[in-house]
Amino acid sequence: MISPRFAPAIYRSACVRFACVGFACALGALACTKGNDNNNPHPTPSGTGAVGTGTGGVGGPPPPPPSGMVTVTIQMPAANALALTGSLLPVSVTARVDQGTDVIDPTTVKAVVTAKNDTAELESTLLAAQGNDTFTGRVSIGDHPSGDYFLTVSAVSSGGLKGSSDPLPFQIDAGPQLFVRTPLPLNSYKGLLVIEVVADPGMFGPLDGPHATVANYPVQLDQVGNAADNTYRGIFNLDDPMPPNVVPRLIDQQLLSVWATDMNNKRVDVHVVFVIDEAGPQITNTTPAPGEIVGDFMQVSATITDPAGVLDSSVIAVIGDDTKPADQFTVTLKPDGVGHYSVLFDTRKLTGCPDPPSASEMCIVYPTVSFRASDDLGNESAVGYVFSVDNIAPVADLDPPRMRSYLIQDTVRCSFEFDPLSNNAIPGDMPGDRNIVPQIFDLRARIEDDGNQAPGLKGSPISLVDPDKTAVYILDDESQALIVDTDGDGWCDAINPLLVPTTEPPTNNNQVLKIRLAPVKPAGGANFMSDSALPNAFCSPGLAPTLPQPLCDLEPTIAIGYTGQAKQPAIWTLEDINPAWCFGRQFDTLANNITDNSWACIAVQTADNANNISVSAPLRVYVQQQNPIKPGTIGPGTPPACTGTYDPVMKAVIPGPCKTRKFNDYYCFNLECPSPQLPP
């Protein structure tokens, strides 16, 4: 059928002669039928109505819809063409409308890639018009695996007619399939490295390769096992990568590269980064720390990490004196967190130091600790150093001996003798053992930490007094023991466990009043005026022209300290401690329900930061609340012993004597007093 726009129209004016075909003929006939026989023009229309009512044009019917058939023919690629993964496949097609009036919409020509036996669209692209019904472009092959695929091109006409090409078969070559079994990415290796690769040529064998390099050194890969398994293996010496040449050692992260090529020269590369590990685990955050002072039970711990993984069973600590294997202790640290290992160790097993110390027994002061661990490759690390042990409790004394202080001027000069706790001048001053006390009196103690002893030791490592574990105990029942020996060694070492400590005035005879003590900051100085009564000693009388001022009203002129430059306080007292009460508050027997006209037992229990616990000798005082008398006056009758032995089986206390440590030093350098001496 001929399209109306190409149909011939042959006619003459005034319808003298008319020959036509189709739509033109109909128009001509209409003109002749409606026309004026004398060819006069039509009169001008009048009124408001429109001429004609059709929608296809003014005065006529609508045109017919577009017609024809969309055809698409693929010119390129050829059937069964080969495309490589990662490439762009050129596409050229002819797309037109046959046997109709429509034309191709140039924005609709689309090339689509699908897998064989699957309609899902894998890749697509629009083709561009090139003229003469030709459209071209390139479609991405992507990273699809080797196999059979189809290319289909579709197009749509401007009128909405659709058409497509026949599916064009082609193949994709993704290259060989490579898989590295070992080494694994970022895993650690040492010595001989086994490289194992699976290399399958797929659809396009035979295979060239696989080939491999480690840090650019070639590695020979040989096929192993059944040929159908496509497995290849090689051995590479990480310690000697290119024998017999001497080359730098390979360390840390290294690169393994493996590649192979198929018959179409499609190459596939695989890269694996692995770690060469010749070092043992990293050991950090160890406890005890170097030089740390420990005692009692200490925690032995460390953070241990390694890229290859830590062999948990290898993590140990060797503790002791390396010159004496019998004194060594090997303990296994257990994992208790990510990379953290720890165990508790009793330092008393290590040193065997008696408390109180003995001049006749050897004692370890500076043992070593060595942490050791291996990784899963067998690399071992060790970290060793010295730490300090303090198995000796502080010495506390409520009635210490009088003493002198000395300093260096033209020679060694000594002070007057003084009591470090009291002036012993007026009622209410700190009493001595067996003294009568008024209602209110000073309550102080000399407390200094002590440490392990050894011949030649210049300074004993001490962990210092723990304020939270230092308190004075007042027992208002002379028939009971206040301090006891709990282990049967003859030394008092604890407050009677049958007593109930209370921080309020006691109301029962099994209660004991407990009040914490606080340290007095070292300050002041002794009386260095000339003392004609100075005994024949290593120093001469002082040269000071006047007495030193009291540290606060009615108190001593000196608060002694100990350790280097008197950094640690040696005097402890009741709180509060302030400029007005620099030696602390006094104790009130009436306010604390302590019986008048009777004996009371007073003792200090203290501990150092290594949890070594001790008690002072009991201070026995006779309470006479009224009519204060001269300090130092001995109380009436026989004072109570205040001591006993505790039987843990019977849970009973047997009255009887037990020893306690006391200070016996006599000279202090300025404010600084020597540390406690060995007991006599």
Residue range 280-322, pLDDT digits in tens: 999 999 999 999 999 888 999 999 999 889 999 999 999 975 4
Per-residue model confidence (pLDDT) at position 59: 54
pLDDT at 361: 79
Given a contact cutoff of 8 angstroms between Cβ atoms, the answer to whether 671 and 630 are in contact is no
* Residue among 364, 355, 360 at smallest CA distance from 394: 355
Q: Provide the whole-model pTM.
A: 0.69
- 36-46, pLDDT tens digit by residue? 443 444 443 33
Q: What is the pLDDT of residue 665?
A: 81
In angstroms, the Cα distances linking 186 to 178, 213, 219, 274, 471 are 19, 17, 19, 4, 59
Do the Cβ atoms of 371 and 331 come closer than 8 Å?
no
Residue 355: predicted pLDDT: 82
Please identify every stretch of the chain with a pLDDT value under 70, giving residue numbers as ranges.
1-60, 321-327, 351-352, 680
pLDDT tens profile 599-651: 999 999 999 999 999 999 999 999 999 999 999 999 999 999 999 999 999 99
**Residue 48 has what pLDDT?**
35
Six token digits for residue 478: 């002379």
Cα distances from 589 to residues 428, 466, 602, in angstroms, run 12, 27, 12
Give me 474's structure tokens: 């007042």
Phi-psi region of 557 (alpha: psi -120 to 50; beta: other; left: phi over 0): alpha
**Amino acid of residue 534:** L
Query: Looking at residue 445, what is its pLDDT?
Result: 98
Residue 369 contacts residue 300 (beta carbons within 8 Å): yes
Taking residue 677's Cβ as centre, other Cβ atoms within 10 Å add up to: 16
The rounded distance, in Å, linking the Cα atoms of 560 and 554 is 17
Can you give the pLDDT at residue 39? 40
Taken in order of first residue, the domains within the chain and their CATH numbers are 4-34 (no CATH), 69-173 (2.60.40.10), 177-276 (2.60.40.650), 282-389 (2.60.40.1220), 395-673 (no CATH)
Q: How far does CA 472 lie from the centroid of its chain?
A: 42
Model pLDDT, residue 112: 97
Of 228, 182, 233, 180, the residue nearest 205 (C-alpha): 228
